[in-house]
Amino acid sequence: MNPQKPQPSAAPAAATATAKSDPATATSNSSRKAWVKKTPVEVVLEQLDKQEQRVAEMRKELAREERELAKLQQARKVLEAQ
**pLDDT tens track of the chain, all 82 residues?**
566 666 655 555 545 555 555 555 555 567 898 999 999 999 999 999 999 999 999 999 999 999 999 999 999 999 999 8
Is 50 inside a domain boundary? yes
Question: Is 7 part of any domain?
Answer: no
Question: Are 50 and 56 in contact, with CB atoms under 8 Å apart?
Answer: no
How long, in residues, is the chain? Answer: 82
Domain with 67, as residue range(s), is 37-82
Question: Residue 26 and residue 33: Cα distance in Å, rounded?
Answer: 14
Is residue 6 one of the residues assigned to a domain? Answer: no
Query: Model-level pTM greater than 0.85?
Result: no
Q: Is residue 75 part of a domain?
A: yes
Q: Is residue 76 part of a domain?
A: yes
Structural domain count of the chain = 1
Angle between the 10-21 and 23-30 helix axes, to the nearest 10 degrees? 70
Structural domain contains residue 1: no
Residue 3 resides in a domain: no
Rounded to whole angstroms, the Cα distance separating 70 from 11 reads 57
